[in-house]
Chains A and B, each alone.
Chain A
Amino acid sequence: MFTRRTLIGAAAALSLTAMSSGAMAQDNMYVALISKGFQHQFWQAVKAGADKAAEELGVRVTFEGPDNETQVDKQMDMLAAALANKPDAIGFAALDSQAAIPLLRQADEAGIPIIAFDSGVDSDIPLATAATDNVAAAALAADKMAELLGGEGQVAVVAHDQTSRTGIDRRDGFVNQMEEAHPGVEIVTIEYGGGDHLKSTEITKAILTAHPELDGIFGTNEGSAIGVVNGVRESGTEGVVIVGYDSGKAQKDAIREGLMAGAITQNPVGIGYETVKAAVAAAKGEEVTGDIDTGFFWYDADNIDDPEIAAVLYD
């Protein structure tokens, strides 16, 4: 009984077979990276770094992540599918470390080495973690903000979330450094916009209404920082010092135009590169341990075009 429906299914399956043929290269070492996302420019930069390492080391790398950072169970399904392919090593950026432990154990039992990246995993299964020291990076943002405000004023934080490691570390790194090193600067409010441009914009406008005396705002990731810029622009407020985090075209433009004072950039290309490098070393049986600090930089209108900075910024 060949109906259209079955034929459609068969056609789909066949086209998949065709699409996959390129991925079936034999004998190369294979490293599967399971990330927290793939759509943000940040993750694309991580992927670019991973691809670069893959090319240099002659290995095959796949890169996958869920649509957004709440989809913990989808990430588990991705990890399970990656395990089915029997990779030589896995790079994993956990959305929730505890939830991932059964599958990580399964990988461990199968003898597949795991390198954590972007944020750590609360488990001793990953051999190493390639990540930005977010606390130190956010502390640098606090120092720069205090410097720009002349050591006193009111500051608000628009954070991307309060559950993930990066969200917590950046918020606390900024807040604690402010309290310890810059007592003249008061943090009047901390709000969470989920890293969503639009939500962060609305939050910023609400903050500006509630605190007309506000001197500065810190946006803790790309989406939050752009939201802050848009919110300040839409409300027509002037003289608010904006400090951002990560890069992306909108944020770079805002810095060039002087709307944003400056931002912290991680080194996403370095994260991807170091993860694959460590994964390959581990798969070859070399010893890989501890934290791999992939670094961070402050950039503003003055140094945005320096070769060293331009290399770690992305559009």
Chain B
Amino acid sequence: MSDAPAAKPATGPEPAQAPVKRRGTAQQKLLAFASLIVLVIGFSLASPNFFQVSNIMAILQATSVNGVLAVGVTLIIITGGIDLSIGTLMTFCAVITGVVLTWAGAPLILGVLTAVATGGLVGLLSGTFVAKMKIPPFIATLGMMLVLKGMSLIVTGTRPIYFNDTPGFTQISQGSLVGEVIPAFPLPNGVLILFLVAAATAWILSRTVLGRYTFALGSNEEAVRLSGVNTDAWKMAIYALAGAICGIAGLLIASRLNSAQPALGLGYELEAIAAVVIGGTSLAGGRGTVLGTLIGALIMAVLTNGLRVLSVAPEWQTVVTGAIIILAVYGDQLRRGRAST
């Protein structure tokens, strides 16, 4: 471990809040990817049961929900905010989908649209709390997390809603369009959706005005406001978009479990945030990538699955996962020479 950090800390006193460090983030992604590969190789050597198509598919399936949530919250974290309500919002969207599909008997497509719309609206509400009412994001979304948890329980009467009457609902996550074309590679649809959501979000971040303002808000919100931009509106739009993405996560988990489980959701926000951080997005805002987040989510899923396949005791699994999060971010800090955060 004698290598010097790649980025020298001695470049200057305060590297004046640069908007986006393209080279830095590219390198970060490469390193995260290398860590992922090392983990996969390590587990494959440790157990012959790890690197098999069925287990790799299980890992990807396990990544899908957390991955989508993480992609959504990446947007908010880049603005320098945080969203603790994503886990229970996911559940709430699943519940509303259950109401629309199972209780009202609406067609599948309507259920899908409802999930996304519910997420978007709730996200917009959180965004309003943060942008207009100036409630710190941590508090606003903490409150929202509890409100949504309670609402899910109220709406369902605390019982799960099953989707047995909606044929094809489980296919959203569990079916495999890819597997129909390439039988040897039965990639679950849930994973395909994760990749599509990630690609779309990456495109928004890098190619649209919304994306540019996402980074700008995280770097220096005051400067953006002073240059005449309606920062409140943009911020609300970002929270709404992240909310809509949580709606997709809600669909995925409901489809996976063939049910909307109203009690589930608490704690999922922290796993998503962990994936974002492992992927090199700074909690201070202004910097981050969707690809990094995707790799972060994969690292977490590989780690969890691998430890299980190796029959490591569950107590130790949590210890190892926590330690890896700290190490990953510390490694990143060293390399960056404590430039920001």
Contact = CB atoms under 8 A, between A and B. Distances in A.
B231 to A, nearest CB: 35
B335 A16 contact: no
Interface in A28-65: 38, 62, 64-65
Contact of B331 (A4, A23, A65): A4
A17 B45 contact: yes
Contacts of A24: 47
A197 B67 CA distance: 33
A295 to B, nearest CB: 27
Contacts of B46: 13, 16-17, 20
Interface string B1-20: 10101100000000000000
B313 to A, nearest CB: 8
B324 interface: yes
B192 interface: no
Given A65-B314, A80-B58, A84-B50, A70 B42 contact: no
Contacts of A98: 162, 164, 257-259
A24 B46 CA distance: 9
Interface string B44-71: 0111011010110010011001000000
Given A71-B264, A73-B256, A2 B308 contact: no
Contacts of B258: 98-99, 101
A81 interface: yes
A7 interface: yes
Given A9-B35, A19-B312, A14 B158 contact: no
Interface stretch (B101-109, B139-147, B299-307): B299-307
A180 to B, nearest CB: 25
B335 A3 contact: yes
Interface string A78-111: 1011111110000000001011011000000000
Interface string B22-44: 00000000111011001101110
B2 to A, nearest CB: 9
A297 interface: no
A16 B332 contact: no
Contacts of A162: 158-159
21 contacts: A1-B30, A2-B3, A3-B31, A13-B38, A13-B42, A13-B43, A16-B43, A16-B306, A16-B310, A19-B312, A20-B310, A78-B308, A80-B58, A81-B55, A83-B54, A84-B52, A96-B259, A98-B162, A99-B259, A161-B263, A192-B158
Interface of B: 1, 3, 5-6, 30-32, 34-35, 38-39, 41-43, 45-47, 49-50, 52, 54-55, 58, 61-62, 65, 158-160, 162, 164, 170, 174, 253, 256-259, 261-267, 304-312, 314-316, 318, 320, 323-324, 327-328, 331-332, 334-335
